[in-house]
Amino acid sequence: MPSHTREWLNCILSVEARSALEILDMVQEPCSIYEISKATGWNANIIRSMIEALAQGGCALGIAEDIIFSISALEDVA
């Protein structure tokens, strides 16, 4: 993931104890929003909104689509 995307997420999460890198590391492997929520303590809706915002933000569309796909692919597990 490009460093500017990591910086962008870090800005969003700067008020939280968890780092954006933790979420990005989890997102790099297929997992559900529920799993990320459970591991980070973040509300699943907040995570979903953040990922959607990332998709609409300045990052490459292909990267955003990969992120959304990897999370939504197993979302039914939750």
Would the pTM count as exceeding 0.85? no
Residue ranges in the chain modelled with pLDDT below 70? 1-31, 40, 51, 53-78
Identity of the residue numbered 45: N
Note the pLDDT tens digit of each residue in 16-37: 435 555 666 666 666 677 777 7
- The sign of the torsion formed by the CA atoms of 18, 23, 26, 32 equals positive
Per-domain residue ranges of the chain: 3-77
Inter-residue contact 24 to 39 (CB < 8 Å): no
SS3 8: helix
